Amino acid sequence: MGEVLLVYELRPESPEIKPESLEERVRANLPERIKMQNTIEKRPLAFGLVSMVAQFIIPEEDGMQDSLEEYLSAIEGVQSVNLDFVTRL
């Protein structure tokens, strides 16, 4: 089986939540078999909000993308999770 690269934008609930803080929370309990790339991008939104754009590599298996999205959505401080890009490696 191959691998899939997914790029997600994670939007914080408030301006007090910084992208670095979100990155730490994501990396803290990242599910096994899901890899997060080392670099993140910061995207200014509005009213002081800054989103985090991160790249993940997952195995090309049924349910893996759903598992990742559920994990990201459940992180404290994350208001929304948007898939920006997906490609097979």
CATH number of 3-88: 3.30.70.60
pLDDT at 1: 78
Ranges of beta strands (E only) in 1-89 are: 3-12, 35-36, 41-44, 50-59, 78-88
What percentage of the chain carries pLDDT values higher than 90?
93
Handedness of CA 43, 49, 55, 61 (dihedral sign): negative
DSSP-based three-state secondary structure for 30: coil
pTM for the predicted model, two decimal places: 0.93
pLDDT digits (tens, 9 = 90+) for 49-80: 999 999 999 999 999 999 999 999 999 999 99
Give me the residue spans of the domains in the chain. Answer: 3-88
Average pLDDT, the chain: 95
Q: Over range 5-22, report the average pLDDT.
A: 95
